[in-house]
Structure formats: structure tokens, C-alpha cells
């Protein structure tokens, strides 16, 4: 039993984008739709509505990103983030909180000091203290390494240090040697053990920078490809082992939703992955199945608020 796409989109916008997530909540929603064009259209409409509501958007496609690895999901998201814009937005807020005026968008300390008739060293001292207070001490919202990385980006934007390309490489998974980050108090790369904390930190950072939150779409339709010969060239094939790892990543994402700040995750899947007779489906991993399916099923009408909604006409949920 399916739900009308427009009805569900309106509900998602009203109950989540415009209220729950905007107020700092988080949710993971699964949308089942078989037709690829219809699925792409659905994602496009969600992105359009989220963008209009002030959210940052990131999209992850299981055909191009190995979603069994949380760090690869984060790297894919990070490559889509406007890090300079986030940094400038946050730094502008820091200046405003300190009572400094900023002219023509120039956030360099020299310009800010000149505009406010102050010595550069005085402004630099106040900004450093504010960043230490507002970033490094925010242990509940931002992971330690993420805090130091955002501090590095912020002081670079203010003109206190010359280059932070190494931080961008670290965030996007392109860093070769971690030694280049020791000056920023970062001593480990982003990997499976800390990538979940990075995703949570990014959601909080988007809100600290003035965005409403983060909307993440994950396209899982590639997981339905059971045979390696069926997949397109240069796309990811998922063995049963990799598939179970993907489901574990999704299980972790659902469990982490209580700790996420202003994040909506929309997972798009073919309906067959939720078919109880499909050996590659969610039924093969009990830990995820128990989180996305309720014990009570009402057959008379679909529940549009459910974690899993069937938007595919002609199929049963």
C-alpha cells in the first residue's frame, strides 16, 4: 500500500523541515520507489524544498560511494560542503558578537581593525579568545578533531595563518600524511571509528554557521543489483558481506539520530530491499529491521509518519 508522493512531501516539509528538524531535531526516513526517474524527481523535490528552507544539502549515491564505510559517506558529504562559506558565516557571527563592524564582507583582521579604529593585535586577541571559547570548549556539539579543524579554518579566514589546504584534504579524505596536521592538534585521520562523530559535528556546524540544518540524501538503489554483471562500469558492486555492512551503517545512523542536531537523512531505496522474501533485503539484518519496522501494522491505510514509506504505486508496503 503506497502513499501519494505529493502528500508525503507536504508532510515531510511541514512536520520535519519546517518544525522538528528546524528546531534541532533529527530523523532518518526511508522512501521506497522503484522507478528511477520518479526516484530522482522525488530527491530533487526534497532538495528544492530544503534549500528554500535554508538547509545545506548533500547527496550520497551508493553506486559511486561505498556506503558500507561511514568514512566514505562523510568524505562524499565533505566534498560537497561550501567550507569557505561556512567559515565566513561563522566568523562574521563571531565579529558581531564581539561588537565589531565588518565592511564590504572583508573578514581579514587588518580590515576589521581599520573599520573599527582599533589595533590589529587587540582585535586578533579578542577573536582568538572568542574562537577558543566558542569552538574548542563546545565538547557536547563538536568532536575534538572537528573543533580544531574549524578553528584552523576560522583563523585562516581571519588572516592569522596563511594556508589551511591540509585541513580541507583531511576533511575530504585526500590527506596523505597526518603529520601536517599536528600544528592544529589533530593526530588521526578520519576513519570508521570517528566518521560518525564527524557527521554529527557537521550538522551542528551548519547550524552554528547560520544554516537551518543539513539534509542528507542517500540513494541505495545500487544495493538491489544482485549480479556483478548487471552493474554499470565504474560503479560499486555490493557482495552480501558488503550489504550487511551497509545495513549496519544505516542502523548506526538511526541510533545516532538522538545525538544529531538539525539533520534530516532521506534514504531512497527500491521496494525490493524491503521485501521479506528478498535474501539481499533488510530482513537479512535483524538489527536494522527492528529499527525501521514497527510491531503494529495497520493494513487499512499507510502511515505517512512511518520511518519507511512506500511511494511506489502498485506495490504493497
Residues 69 and 94 occupy one common structural domain: no
Q: Are 100 and 112 found together in one domain?
A: yes
pLDDT at 140: 82
Strands 26-32 and 308-310: parallel
Asked if 140 and 66 sit in the same domain, the reply is no
User: Is residue 276 in a domain?
Assistant: yes
What pLDDT is stored for residue 27 in this prediction?
96
Provide the whole-model pTM.
0.93
Report the alpha-carbon distance of residue 204 to residue 198 in Å, rounded: 10
- Give me the tens of pLDDT residue by residue for the chain, a chain 317 residues long: 567 889 999 999 999 999 999 999 999 999 999 888 999 999 999 999 999 999 999 999 999 999 999 999 999 999 999 999 999 999 999 999 999 999 877 899 999 999 999 999 999 999 999 998 888 887 788 999 999 999 999 999 998 887 889 999 999 999 999 999 999 999 999 999 999 999 999 999 999 999 999 999 999 999 999 899 889 999 999 999 999 999 999 999 999 999 899 999 999 999 999 998 899 999 999 999 999 876 444 455 667 788 999 887 655 44
Instruction: Taking each helix axis as running N to C, give the angle between helix 144-157 and helix 192-208, from 0 to 180 degrees, rounded to the nearest 10.
Output: 50
User: 316 burial class (0-12, 13-18, 19+ CB within 10 angstroms)?
Assistant: exposed
Q: How many domains does the chain have?
A: 2
Query: 75 and 87 share a domain?
Result: no
Q: What cell does 126 get?
A: 579578542
- What does the pLDDT read at residue 203? 96
pLDDT of residue 314: 52
Interaxial angle between packed helices 83-97 and 144-157, expressed in degrees from 0 to 180 and rounded to the nearest 10: 80
Same domain (yes/no): 106, 72: no
Asked if 135 contacts 150 with a C-beta cutoff of 8 angstroms, the reply is yes
Do 293 and 224 share a structural domain? yes
- Asked if residue 208 is part of any domain, the answer here is no
Q: Buried b vs exposed e over 178-205: b needs ≥16 C-beta within 10 Å?
A: eeebeebebeeebeeebbbbbbbbbbbb
Domain that holds residue 115: 83-171
56 in the same domain as 32? yes
Report the CATH number that the domain containing residue 306 is assigned in CATH: 3.40.50
Q: Where are the alpha helices (DSSP H) in 53-82?
A: 70-78
Would 178 be classed as within a structural domain?
no
Same-domain status, 63 and 133: no
Q: Which of 198, 208, 212, 197 is nearest to 263 (CA)?
A: 212
- Residue 210 CA to residue 198 CA, distance in Å, equals 19
Amino acid at each position: 500500500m503506497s502513499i501519494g508522493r505529493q502528500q508525503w512531501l507536504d508532510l515531510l516539509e511541514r512536520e520535519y523541515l519546517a518544525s522538528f528538524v528546524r528546531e534541532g531535531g533529527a530523523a532518518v526516513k526511508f522512501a521506497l520507489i522503484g522507478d528511477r526517474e520518479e526516484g530522482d524527481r522525488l530527491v530533487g523535490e526534497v532538495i528544492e524544498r530544503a534549500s528554500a528552507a535554508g538547509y545545506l544539502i548533500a547527496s550520497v549515491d551508493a553506486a559511486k560511494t561505498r556506503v558500507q564505510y561511514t568514512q566514505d559517506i562523510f568524505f562524499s558529504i565533505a566534498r560537497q560542503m561550501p567550507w569557505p562559506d561556512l567559515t565566513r558565516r561563522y566568523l562574521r557571527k563571531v565579529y558581531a558578537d564581539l561588537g565589531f563592524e565588518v565592511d564590504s564582507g572583508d573578514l581579514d583582521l587588518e580590515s576589521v581593525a581599520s573599520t573599527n579604529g582599533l589595533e590589529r593585535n587587540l582585535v586578533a586577541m579578542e577573536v582568538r579568545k572568542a574562537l577558543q571559547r566558542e569552538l574548542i570548549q563546545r565538547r557536547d556539539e563538536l568532536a575534538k578533531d572537528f573543533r580544531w579543524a574549524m578553528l584552523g579554518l576560522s583563523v585562516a579566514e581571519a588572516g592569522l595563518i596563511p594556508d589551511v589546504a591540509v585541513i580541507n584534504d583531511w576533511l575530504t579524505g585526500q590527506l596523505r600524511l597526518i603529520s601536517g596536521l599536528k600544528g592544529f592538534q589533530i593526530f588521526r585521520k578520519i576513519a570508521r571509528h570517528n566518521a560518525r562523530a564527524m557527521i554529527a559535528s557537521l550538522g551542528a556546524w551548519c547550524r552554528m554557521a547560520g544554516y537551518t540544518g543539513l539534509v542528507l540524501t542517500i540513494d541505495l538503489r545500487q544495493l538491489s543489483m544482485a549480479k556483478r554483471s548487471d552493474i554499470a562500469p565504474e560503479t560499486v558492486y555490493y557482495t552480501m558481506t558488503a550489504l550487511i555492512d551497509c545495513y549496519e551503517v544505516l542502523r548506526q545512523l538511526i541510533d545516532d539520530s538522538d545525538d544529531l542536531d538539525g539533520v534530516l537523512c532521506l534514504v531512497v531505496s527500491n521496494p525490493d530491499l524491503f521485501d521479506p522474501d528478498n535474501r539481499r533485503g533488510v530482513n537479512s539484518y535483524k538489527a536494522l529491521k527492528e529499527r525501521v519496522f514497527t510491531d503494529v501494522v495497520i493494513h487499512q491505510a499507510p502511515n505517512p509518519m512511518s520511518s519507511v514509506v512506500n511511494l511506489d504505486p502498485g506495490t504493497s508496503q
